[in-house]
Amino acid sequence: MKKILIISHSTKIEGPINYYHNYLTKNNFEVISVDHPLGDYKERFTRFECTKQIKKISRLNIFGPLNLIIDFYLSLKFIAKHNFDIFIGANNFDTLAGIFSRFIFRKKIKKIIYFASDYSENRFKNRLLNNIYYLVESISCKYSDLVISNTKRAEKKRLESGLVNNKSIVVPNGVLLKDVNFANKLINKQTFIYIGSITKEHGLYEFINKVYPIMTKLVLIGEGEEWEKTVMLCKNKGIKLEIYYKKSHDFCIDYLKKFKGIGLAPYNTSSMWTYYCSPLKISEYIACGIPVLMSSVPEISEMVIEKSLGVVYSKLSLNDIRLSLNAFDESMFSHKAHKFYDTYNQNYLYERIKL
């Protein structure tokens, strides 16, 4: 049985690397892991797990680049102490630790996988840090044995960074349902739901402020820097609110399965990562039988248009969005949801990653 080491950075919210970790465990792979903190939140720690034994090291949130150096050092220490067959890094800095161990420390690693998430242009405000980021990206693409991008756009940028085609695959962020039931719903086009972080990049505040006349009710599940500001806007605009703060992923999926409205994903271009992202929330909306109303920024908007999975707008216009929603045929959407799930099922997607 192959032994796999996963090194990642994560927030308190689960992401694709967590889902892939779960997939490997369910399929009887032996997985050991190092998980570093990402973001500014209380009780930050690096988490080490090996043979079901867990160790945590408390971490202060200090100057960003220094955090990465500490992460790199802790990753190298863990790698030196353990033997494994396959190394998986969840971002380019995580992957660099595996590459460094193989080529500098001569650690025997049969396969290095860069499990890349969203590509970031101008990730930092500092030009020097951006250049370092691009250098690390280039090294990760060149010296990994397999590079996984979650969109074709992200893959294209990595090919430009030196990645070769035969080491590259695209695996979008998928969804996994415990209860696979695609009963038809009677969709209310004046009732909306938004799940996830509420930030400037996600564009919810701007969206509501522009198109609130079409919104009778809004369900909010999540958190974020613009949470309170958005809640206050909804109240001022007379939108009926149903609020759930910081709920679990299972709670969100269970709620979506019962929800009979429209899912919102109004990404904007204030941060370039939105152009390259593969939004989990859109996959979950559709798989749970909910048409999506989204901006044309993420790549998946092209599929939404092609398969008639919702409404996509390129301009934030109340009149245009109202007309498009009215014209959208939501009847028998469950059949479309079922076909979508067959393609975006996490198990199906992860089977494509050959270990």
Give the 3-state secondary structure of residue 303: helix
| Mean pLDDT calculated for residue range 111-126 | 84
Write the DSSP assignment of 87-143 as a string of letters: EEESSHHHHHHHHHHHHTS----SEEEEE-----SS-SSSHHHHHHHHHHHHHHHHH
Structure tokens at 196: 């996830």
CA dist., res. 187 & res. 192, Å (int): 10
With residue 168 as reference, give the H or E element that holds it.
Answer: strand 168-170
**Predicted local confidence at residue 146, as pLDDT:** 97
Q: Any idea which residue has 């399929």 for tokens?
A: 27
Residue 13, pLDDT > 90, answer: no
With residue 19 as reference, give the H or E element that holds it.
Answer: helix 16-26
**Predicted local confidence at residue 129, as pLDDT:** 83
| Mean pLDDT calculated for residue range 296-304 | 95
Asked whether this chain's domains 3-171 and 191-343 adopt the same fold, the reply is: yes
Residue 292, pLDDT > 80, answer: yes
Q: Smallest Cα–Cα separation from 118: which of 80, 91, 143, 141? A: 91
Question: pLDDT for 196-223, tens place per residue?
Answer: 989 888 899 999 999 999 999 999 999 9
Q: Label residue 270 by pLDDT band (50, 70, 90).
A: low
In the DSSP assignment, the letter for residue 346 is H
Say yes or no: domain 3-171 is CATH 3.40.50.2000. Answer: yes
Q: Label residue 35 by pLDDT band (50, 70, 90).
A: very high
- Of all residues in the chain, the percent with pLDDT exceeding 70 is 97
Residue 195, pLDDT > 90, answer: yes
**Predicted local confidence at residue 99, as pLDDT:** 98
**Predicted local confidence at residue 214, as pLDDT:** 96
- Of all residues in the chain, the percent with pLDDT exceeding 90 is 76
Delimit the domains of the chain by residue range.
3-171, 191-343
Q: Which residues have CB under 8 Å from 239's CB, separation 6+?
A: 208, 212, 215, 216, 217, 218
Question: pLDDT for 53-76, tens place per residue?
Answer: 999 999 887 776 788 899 999 999
Residue 271, pLDDT > 70, answer: no
Fold of 191-343: Rossmann fold (3.40.50)
**Predicted local confidence at residue 199, as pLDDT:** 87
**Predicted local confidence at residue 60, as pLDDT:** 83
How high is the mean pLDDT of the chain? 92
Give the 3-state secondary structure of residue 2: coil
In the DSSP assignment, the letter for residue 256 is H
pTM for this prediction: 0.91
**Predicted local confidence at residue 18, as pLDDT:** 92
CA dist., res. 261 & res. 263, Å (int): 7
